[in-house]
Structure 1
Amino acid sequence: MRKVSGMKLTNRLVAFVTLIVICAIFIVFVGGALSFRKLGQDYLTHYLDGIVEVIDQELADPQGSQGLSRWLPKLLKASNVIELEVGSDSGVIYAFKGLQKLPDPNILHEGYYQLEQNPGFYVTLKSLPPYTEFTYSIGAMSSISLAIMTIILGLVWGVNWLRQQLQGSELLEERGRMILAGRVEEHAVGDEKEWPATASLALDQMIAELKDARQERSRFDTFIRTHTFLDQLTGAANRVLFDSRLQSALQDQETHGAVILIRLADWDELLAEQGKEQADELIHDVGMILSNLIQRYPDTVLSRYFDAEFAIMLPQQSVKEVRLFTNQMLNALERLLPPPPLEPDNWCHIGLTTFASGERRGRIMDEADMALRSAQLQASNNWFAFKKEQQGEDARGSVRWRTLFDAVFNANAIDLYQQPVISALDGEVVHRELLARIKDENGVQIKASRFMTAVEQVGYTVRMDKQVISKTLASLKQLPPDEVLSVNVNVTSLLERDFVRWLRDELLQTPRMVLTRLSFEVTEGALVKHLDAMRPIARMIVGLGCKLVVDQAGRTIVSTHYIKDLNVDFIKLHRSLIREINLRQENQLFVRSMLGACGDSRAQVIAVGVENEKEWNVLKSLGVAAGQGRYFAPEMSLAKQLTEDVKPTKFLFRSSHKK
């Protein structure tokens, strides 16, 4: 893989030009110095040759040899000759030695000459090299100094000119660095000064096309999921999604609720007399009424089960609340005037039944259908409930829930349980999701899936999230440095300014090494609904070093453009998509669609609710990054882990593994 160069193009060119100029100056300087030295040596040799020639001529004259001692010392001193000796094989006839003090005798130039006019005679001398006593002179070296200064000034001007010319290239390079850093949206359009202009324009066009392709891909993924799990006329869930959600709810522990069937009478006659357009309009109106009524009940599923039949699943609601809701629904539907041949007093019939964890889905739907037929026998707009024994459901009202929550919060008695998320690649623990639990007045433990609805109804969401986050931060400081925790936070709390300010202060007071081991989980539906308000909060969480996890992905059919928009780290699929995925091609299609939506981002897909090896093998073949569920490990108390100092577990998957 190619790596980004750490040196800018302009710096490279400037360094290259500067190096070339400095090398040229150095070469010229060395060459000039050698030439200067050679000229000095040649001048000294020529001058000494003249002295020897004069001595040779004087010795040839019978009278000249007698005057050497008179005029020769002055000549030698003027010529910087330190020592001179004239002699023959018979001996020395004249010797001279100057009185100058030399710092280093090794610098003397030595010469030996045979006299041409006096065969057998020789002259040896030692003289100072040329320019040894010279110092720098501005006057003498002014031309060279001026030349060097001119070159330096020219180099500075040339470098500045080169930087100005390549400023556009630097802008283009910096933009490329920002794009590689993931800041594509901020640098989608380049500066007009970028150079080469063709490369800048091409980059603009490619980013625009990539952005459009991502949006188109998101729309296509949403289209696939919509046509797979939603009814096209009403926008409600279809039968496939409803059965999947009901099956998932029945397999969860400590789950209860109700299934309601709403059937429109004389549907075939309405189609025959009024046509499909009029019939579709009635279905749309009924779907709008039902959709508005279920808004105040979280995790409720509305489905167009058949052409003229709707199904509603109300989880975690008491029988009293379900009956109240059914009455309200019937009153709302009766205010709707159906077209003929439907009778205004006998066109809508409702059947309901309750369910609890462990029951079979087919039996629940049969009970609801029998209740619906009983309502039809009454020949009027009416509802009927299937009579069955209630399995110890908790019918607390708001006052009792509020009293219980006050006691729990005042005593700081929230229990945190953890369940590991296991990597599909190497079996290592990615992080541990924290699950809140409380105990009622009798000491019976209650899961979050049962009391979170009540927490929202009584307005204690912020108090709950504050205590859970505070306990999580305290636990992180006690756990080993390789443990990573993930805590669930309600989007309702994150929309409160005081809570966000409190959260920011708590995170700022926590060491960075601890924050990198903390993840925040938010539900997908609420996140997309309040996406604009969640953007700055998500940036704050990620900026402080924490990770962002989107939970319950796929529970509602929404666009996935938020994955790239918020820099999400993990996407956790809703457990209803995982149950028996080895037998459900439509769920596999949904998972493939989600994996495709995360393909060009850093987000990794995690499967939640893995129960057996068959499901896990299919999920791994699809390409999920990690899994979570009872197949790997049950939920365990975090306090127990702190006491026992449990280290991260490595899970090895084998084809013979049974859970």
Structure 2
Amino acid sequence: MRKASGMRLTNRLVAFVTVIVICAMFVIFIGGAVSFRKLGQDYLTHYLDGVVEVIDQEMADPQGAQSLSRWLPKLLKASNVMELEVSSEAGVIYSFKGLQTLNDPSILYRSRYELQHNPGYFVDMKSIPPYTEFTYSIGAMSSISLAIAIIIVGLIWGMDWLRRQLLGSELLEHRGRMILAGRVEENEIGDEREWPATASLALDKMIAELKDARQERSRFDTFIRTHTFLDQLTGAANRVMFDSRLQSMLQDQETHGAVILVRIADWEELLAEKGKEEADELIQDVGGILSNLVQRYPDTVLARYFDAEFAILLGQQSVKEVKQFANTMMNALDRLSPPTPLDKENWCHIGVTSWVSGERRGRIMDEADMALRSAQLQGTNGWFAFKKDQQVEDARGSVRWRTLLDSIFSSGGPLLYQQPVIMADGTTLHRELLSRIRDENGMLIKASRFLSAVEQVGFNARMDQQVISKTLNMLRNEPVEDALSVNVSVEALLDKAFVKWLRDELLQTPRTVLNRLSFEIPESGLVKHLDAIRPVARILVGLGCKLVVDQAGRTIVSTHYIKDIKVDIIKLHRGLVREIDLRQENQLFVRSMLGVCADSAVQVVAVGVENQNEWQVLKQLGVKGGQGRYFAAELSLEKPESPRKQK
């Protein structure tokens, strides 16, 4: 199965030609600069040799040596010599120092000469290098300037000609990208200039048939989830989803992070003076900047909390990392030019507070609001962090994480824990394998703490390879009655070397073993890289493994992947399950997900079930199974060891 190219054909050709031309110009420029420098250095050396020869000859004459102080300063000043000393073993005979000031004395050219006619005497000089005080001159550089101008004009003309020739294929490719992005309705009929024409007509026909085959239930489901949890203007989460996710993370054990509030000042005045349309444009600009910045952090929620206020939830990030993120965010927002009546120097303020599991959501939001008000009192664009007595500091950087993970991989890989998925009838669907590692002090670290570091140092494929190898060994050699499920990252599935290794390993495994193996893929990454993961998913399913989509509902994405690839199980994100008996909006989301899977054989499983009330509501909604502490705790598959602290 082919996957969509990451760069358009025209951009490839334009980039290739541009890089070649720029490299050629760069080589010529470097060569010319080196030549100019060499010529100037040779000229200066030759000139200074002449000055030293004159001094040597004059010092050989007793009368000439006495008149050095009369004529030599003029010669040195005309020769751009800043300092000169004539010395011997007895001491300094003559010294000269110019009155001209330099901003950077380190650029001076230093030289030392021994006088031929006066043995034992030396001349030390510091002179200004050539071309130091010269600026660009059109007259002197006219030939090079003209050549560069001709090259640039020719390059622009050539690129324009190339784009015009490939316009038809560009239009067809753009249309294909829009369709892959889900914008089918806007691209039902192609442009007449699309080429090849047969491919364009075939695409028109397929889209028309697909539109007729769509079910109203799917469209209604997407509508419900989008309007329940997303802000319609920016596409970010709304307040309902933010509060639900924050409450869920606070109830998890051993979690920490930060809440950041971004508020636009004088919002009411802007609405009254400029109107809603221009105010919405500012909101979209701010939302776009924040959305791009939060992409680098996993498990991050960006929400439009109020009309002129955004909220960001960062999980498992240290105070140092949060402060760096706040500075980056403030610098990015400073580059915006807000419309009047907003003051460019005092229109955006940020409040930051940290949190740990067990705190109250209302208190955290109050702390973030107080920090935001403190930032507003400063009278300029800026951010302020709420000072708390206890803050989580993780001093382990990427280098220490890399060292720790290297030692883990070389000593047998991560530790494996298991937790069963129990169906409504009491049977066990499978047991999910969970990774743990021990740090330098022997403290146990959960996957939620180290997976972001694994991604940061690029060890996703190595981590997944070791976990899968251990899982296959257990299935082959140990009497495991239940099926096992193993998590695999999207980054690993995008690695061709890892996919090749995984395929070869599975081909060497009996099908009876593979039928008891499931692979769990995060929903957000699966949808984002669906074209690249689709062939890998088909290989796994074709070999007899089951495909599980994990963390469903963590982000609002299209559910067309359910019918695009053969998904066996969908696991709801624990944020939807937590206190679902008290949250009607989460129940609505689960109902819509179950509606999407109603006409298929996909089983929906809830993760993070903690009590009887949650499980009863989930069963009433139609969820087939559950996983969490309500059913069984996480148990180690390793050999028993002496109890240690858990981090």
TM over 0.5: yes
CA distance in 2, matches of 1:640, 1:372: 50
Q: Is the 8 A contact 2:578 2:609 kept in 1?
A: yes
Task: Report the Cα distance in structure 1 between the residues aligned to 2:613 and 2:209, rounded to whole angstroms.
Answer: 40
Cα distance in 2, alignment partners of residues 399 and 418 from structure 1? 30
- Residues 1:411 and 1:561: Cα distance change in structure 2 (over 3 Å): same
The percent of aligned pairs where both chains have the same amino acid is 76
Deviation at 1:486, TM superposition (A): 0.4
Aligned to 2:571: 572
The residue number in structure 2 matching 1:242 is 242
Task: Give the superposition deviation at 1:479.
Answer: 4.0
Counterparts of 1:353-432 in structure 2, within 5 Å, are 353-424=353-424, 426-432=425-431
Q: Find the aligned partners of 2:344 and 2:213 in 1 and give their Cα distance.
A: 50
Correspondence list, 1:11-50, <5 A: none
> Secondary structure at 2:261's aligned position in 1?
strand
Residue 433 of structure 2 is matched in structure 1 by 434
Post-superposition offset of 1:249: 1.0
Aligned residue in 1 for 2:461: 462
Please state whether the residue corresponding to 1:639 is helix, strand or coil.
coil
Q: Deviations for 1:256-306, whole angstroms, at most 9, x for unmatched residues?
A: 111100011011111111110011000000000000111111111100000
CA distances 1:317-349 after superposition (whole Å, capped 9, x unpaired) = 111111011001001101101111111111101
- Letter of the 2:314 counterpart: L
Question: What SS does the corresponding residue of 1:552 show, helix, strand or coil?
Answer: strand
Residues 213 and 248 of structure 1: CA distance in aligned 2, closer, same or farther (over 3 Å): farther
How do 1:338-357 and structure 2 match up within 5 A? 338-357=338-357
Give the partner amino acid of 2:416. L
Matches of 1:417 and 1:537, distance apart in 2: 26
SS in 2 for 1:350: strand
* CA–CA distance in structure 2, aligned partners of residues 315 and 513 of structure 1: 40
Amino acid at match of 1:231: D
Match of 2:600 in 1: 601
- In structure 1, C-alpha distance between the alignment counterparts of 2:577 and 2:364, rounded to whole Å: 21
Deviation at 1:363, TM superposition (A): 1.0
Asked if the contact 1:215/1:561 (under 8 Å) is kept, the reply is no
- For normalisation by structure 2, the TM-score amounts to 0.66
CA contact (8 A) 1:219 1:559 kept: no
**1:576-609 deviations in Å (ceiling 9; x for gaps):** 1011111111111100100010111111100011
- SS of the residue corresponding to residue 632 of structure 2 reads coil
Structure 2 CA distance for partners of 1:478 and 1:573, relative to 1, 3 Å: same
Q: How far did 1:360 drift?
A: 1.2
Q: Residues 532, 546 of structure 1: CA spacing in aligned structure 2 closer, same or farther, 3 A cutoff?
A: same
Question: What does residue range 502-513 of structure 1 map to in structure 2 within 5 Å?
Answer: 502-513=501-512
Deviations along 1:239-269, one digit per CA (max 9) or x if unpaired, are 0101111111111112111110001101111
Cα deviation digits, residues 179-226 of structure 1 (max 9, x gap): xxxxxxxxxxxxxxxxxxxxxxxxxx9x99898454543332222111
AA in 2 matched with 1:320: K
Matched residue, 1:142: none
Distance 2:445 2:625 in 1: 28
User: Contact 1:239–1:304 (CA<8 Å) still a contact in 2?
Assistant: yes
The corresponding residue for 1:557 is 556
SS in 2 for 1:436: strand
Q: Could you state the TM-score of these two structures normalised by the residue count of structure 1?
A: 0.65
Q: Aligned in 2, Cα 1:321/1:392: closer, same or farther, shift over 3 Å? A: closer
Q: Is the contact between residue 413 and residue 467 of structure 2 (CA under 8 Å) also seen in structure 1? A: no
2:638 alignment partner, SS class: helix
One-letter amino acid matched to 1:462: A
Q: Contact (CA 8 Å) 1:607, 1:626: kept in 2 or not?
A: yes
1:379 alignment partner AA? G
Report whether the alignment pairs 1:493 with 2:486: no
Task: Tell me how far apart the structure 2 counterparts of residues 263 and 289 of structure 1 sit (CA, whole Å).
Answer: 14
- The one-letter code sitting in structure 2 at the alignment partner of 1:294 is V
Shift of residue 393, structure 1, vs aligned partner? 3.7
5 Å-filtered alignment, 1:271-286, equals 271-286=271-286
Post-superposition Cα deviations, 1:516-569, rounded to whole Å, max 9, x if no partner, equal: 000000000000011111111111000101000000001111111111111100
CA contact (8 A) 2:256 2:392 kept: no
Matched residue type, 2:259: V
Q: For residue 36 of structure 1, what is the aligned residue in structure 2?
A: none
2:318 counterpart of 1:314: no
* AA aligned opposite 1:400: R
- Residue 85 (structure 1) aligns with: none
Q: CA RMSD in A?
A: 1.8
| Whole-angstrom distance in 2 between the partners of 1:461 and 1:347 | 41
Residue 306 and residue 392 in structure 1: after superposition, are their counterparts in 2 closer, same or farther (change >3 A)? closer
User: Structure 1: how far apart are the matches of 2:364 and 2:573?
Assistant: 22
Over 3 Å counting, the alpha-carbon distance change for 1:270 and 1:212 in structure 2 is same
Shift of 1:394: 2.3
Q: Tell me the CA shift for residue 478 of structure 1.
A: 3.8
For these two proteins, the number of residue pairs brought into alignment is 436
Aligned-partner Cα distance in 2 for 1:226–1:597: 14
Q: From the superposition, tell whether residues 211 and 343 of structure 1 become closer, same or farther in structure 2 (CA, over 3 Å).
A: closer
| Partner residue in 1 for 2:528 | 529
CA distance in 2, matches of 1:408, 1:211: 52
- Aligned partners of 2:579 and 2:208: how far apart in 1? 41
CA distance in 2 between partners of 1:210 and 1:264 (Å): 43
> Structure 2: how far apart are the matches of 1:295 and 1:481?
40
Structure 1 position 328 matched with structure 2 position 324: no
In 1: Cα distance, 2:566 partner to 2:214 partner: 15
1:581 aligns with 2:598: no
Distance 1:449 1:528, change over 3 A: same
- 2:503 maps to a residue whose letter is R
Structure 2 residue aligned with 1:298: 298
1:120 is aligned to none
Q: Which amino acid aligns with 2:276?
A: K
Q: Which amino acid aligns with 1:374?
A: S
Report the alpha carbon displacement of residue 634 of structure 1 after superposing the two structures with TM: 0.8
